[in-house]
Amino acid sequence: MSNQALQALENEETEKAHVLIVKVQDIIREFQITLDDRYEVAKDLAIMYDFVYSKLISANIKKDAKELRDALYVIRELRNTWKEASMIAKSSDNFSQSRARVAL
């Protein structure tokens, strides 16, 4: 969706870009409100989400592709980090399950 918004901005399709950016803003906002402050990582994520959200707002108001690219960079880095964490968790689960079978 964010890539489509960037493409729309670059093609000067401002209405389409607006709708898509608002959808991305809504997603980031949902991430923000579901953070659990009991965990240290939540504070770091909150800072990143705030940055992304402000860049999205700026991109939408100014119709500025650079602002949107700045937000997209952080979004992609977060996505890649979550993917890597997921793979590590899965391999850890597989290792634990293998050890449990061996112990039986």
Query: Is the CB of residue 57 less than 8 Å from the CB of residue 45?
Result: no
Q: pTM for the whole thing?
A: 0.82
Q: Which CATH number fits domain 2-103: 3.40.50.1820, 1.20.120.340, 2.40.30.110, 3.30.300.350?
A: 1.20.120.340
Which amino acid is residue 68, in one-letter code?
Answer: L
Residue 31 confidence class, pLDDT cut points 50, 70, 90: very high
Q: Report which of 34, 4, 33, 28 is spatially closest to residue 16, judged by C-alpha positions.
A: 4
What local confidence, expressed as pLDDT, does residue 65 receive?
97
